[in-house]
């Protein structure tokens, strides 16, 4: 019950006061199946891209973080080809930084920040990470190309 009312409150806030560049809504499959869109930030290789994400809210939410993954392919050191995201707030302690005080809006904002500022020291994609570290121009070119190919409307 607590989970349902919290989710309703979070969704209503996401609808009335969404973070800049982020939208989130309920998928037709019910309260624990959400979709989100993140707009690529200005001055990033993802600029003008629209990235779709899937959010699955677990039974134990908010004591367990939602599972979030990219549905839109993205060229990024911390996001793999299946759309999984390497980000500490998406994992439970001791390895992660998830806390019940966090919410879906905070997570989506954190993912948006990660898109703008990759963390090459904790990569899911080692090859993209080393490209980001040692050949930034090539990384930017590839990321822009992927954005145009997969995330343009």
Q: Which long-range contacts (CB under 8 A, 24 or more apart) does 46-54 make?
A: 46/74, 46/115, 46/116, 46/143, 46/147, 46/151, 47/147, 48/147, 48/152, 49/74, 49/147, 49/148, 49/150, 49/151, 49/152, 50/151, 50/152, 50/153, 51/115, 51/151, 53/83, 53/108, 53/111, 54/83
d(CA 20, CA 38): 9
Residues with catalytic roles: 86
């Amino acid at each position: 019950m607590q989970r349902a009312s919290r989710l309703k409150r979070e969704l209503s806030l996401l609808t009335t006061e969404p973070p800049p560049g982020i939208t989130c809504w309920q998928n037709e499959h019910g309260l624990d199946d959400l979709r989100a869109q993140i707009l690529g930030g200005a001055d990033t290789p993802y600029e003008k891209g629209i990235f779709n994400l899937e959010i699955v809210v677990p039974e134990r939410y908010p004591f367990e973080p939602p599972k979030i993954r990219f549905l839109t392919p993205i060229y990024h050191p911390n996001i793999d080809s299946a759309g999984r995201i390497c980000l500490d707030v998406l994992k439970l302690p001791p390895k992660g930084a998830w806390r019940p005080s966090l919410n879906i809006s905070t997570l989506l904002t954190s993912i948006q920040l990660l898109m703008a500022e990759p963390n090459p020291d904790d990569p899911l994609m080692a090859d993209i990470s080393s490209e980001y570290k040692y050949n930034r121009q090539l990384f930017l070119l590839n990321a822009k190309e992927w954005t145009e190919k997969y995330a343009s409307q």
